[in-house]
Amino acid sequence: MDEIIRMITGDGMVKAVAVTGRDMVERARQIHKTLPVATAALGRTLMAASMMGDMLKEEDGSVTLQIKGGGPLGAITAVSDSRGNPRGYLQNGQVDIPRKYQGKLDVGTAVGSSGSLTVIKDMGLKEPYMGSVQLVSGEIAEDITAYFVESEQVPTACALGVLVDKDQSVAAAGGYLVQLLPGADESVIQRLEESIARLGPVTDALHGGADAVQLLERVLEGQEPELLERRPVAYKCYCSRERVSRAIISMGKEEMQSLIEEQGGAELTCQFCDKVYRFTKEELQELLEEATR
């Protein structure tokens, strides 16, 4: 079972969140039928969205990440609710490119680095907050770090990893976000840098049996980390027939009329979970009447 946790150091200078995401990334792989490098790219984005969603204070808030790097995978979108449950999709999940050294998946090349990362936070206000930064590498964790430093002025360390097995299923997945709070000095930064270097790749620790708590305890080693929150998370889509009906109505009367007259019905597929919603000519007629009331 995937989980998300939050910690703070004993001196109150560092806050951190970590997620284990093997099940959510495997669910995304099954839905979108992705090849390994696409699984890794989408998985990293899902877990970043999960952690950023969990950081929201609003009960019914959401975070959307949009990555457009100009690489063969095309655009990647991930959305998370404020409890860290993400969903997402990408344009070209069937992309396969040569691996890097030691068989590492080349996510940066597949995503591309000539575009941007856009973060949209819906916090229940009139307008959502939106921030955008140029991609640093397309490896995603570095791009998330750049977003926090440039857009929110918060010194941040982010690590994300997806380990894909020989049968293309997800063997391990997880990540962490560590942020310095006001007042943190050089010694705090140095301790963090040293412990992160000792930890190494996230997937090595997780594949070796570490859970989210053990992962963050190693990142925050020697800083008396205190566990603030621990709860399960999962890939979660909120689509429903009612929502799809509302989307059809929002298309406008002319568009709906042409669906009725030219196609005699409609078939819509949810981008997040691949569920198909079918509407007969009569059902569309009812929706049209509802729209004109």
Task: Clarify whether residues 247 and 215 are in a common domain.
Answer: no
Task: Clarify whether residues 84 and 162 are in a common domain.
Answer: yes
Q: Which residues, given as ranges, of the chain have pLDDT below 50?
A: none
Residue 269 CB contacts under 8 Å (≥ 6 apart), including other chains = 275, 276, 277
* pLDDT digits 0-9 by tens, 209-258: 999 999 999 999 999 999 999 999 999 999 999 999 999 999 888 888 88
Task: Clarify whether residues 182 and 252 are in a common domain.
Answer: no
Task: Clarify whether residues 120 and 221 are in a common domain.
Answer: yes
Percent of the chain exceeding pLDDT 90 equals 82
**Amino acid type, 272:** F
Domain end, chosen from 214, 232, 250, is at: 232
Task: Clarify whether residues 169 and 258 are in a common domain.
Answer: no
Task: Clarify whether residues 190 and 267 are in a common domain.
Answer: no
CATH number reported for the structural domain that contains residue 262 in this entry? 3.90.1280.10
CATH number reported for the structural domain that contains residue 69 in this entry? 3.55.30.10
Structural domain span for residue 111: 3-232
pLDDT value of position 258:
87
118 Rama sector, left if φ>0, alpha if ψ -120 to 50, beta otherwise: beta
Task: Clarify whether residues 79 and 180 are in a common domain.
Answer: yes
Task: Clarify whether residues 167 and 265 are in a common domain.
Answer: no
pLDDT value of position 185:
85
Task: Clarify whether residues 223 and 252 are in a common domain.
Answer: no
Task: Clarify whether residues 124 and 73 are in a common domain.
Answer: yes
Domain end, chosen from 198, 213, 232, is at: 232
Domain end, chosen from 215, 232, 249, is at: 232
pLDDT value of position 102:
75
pLDDT value of position 105:
93
Task: Clarify whether residues 211 and 248 are in a common domain.
Answer: no
* pLDDT digits 0-9 by tens, 156-167: 999 999 999 999
Domain total for the chain?
2
Task: Clarify whether residues 153 and 263 are in a common domain.
Answer: no
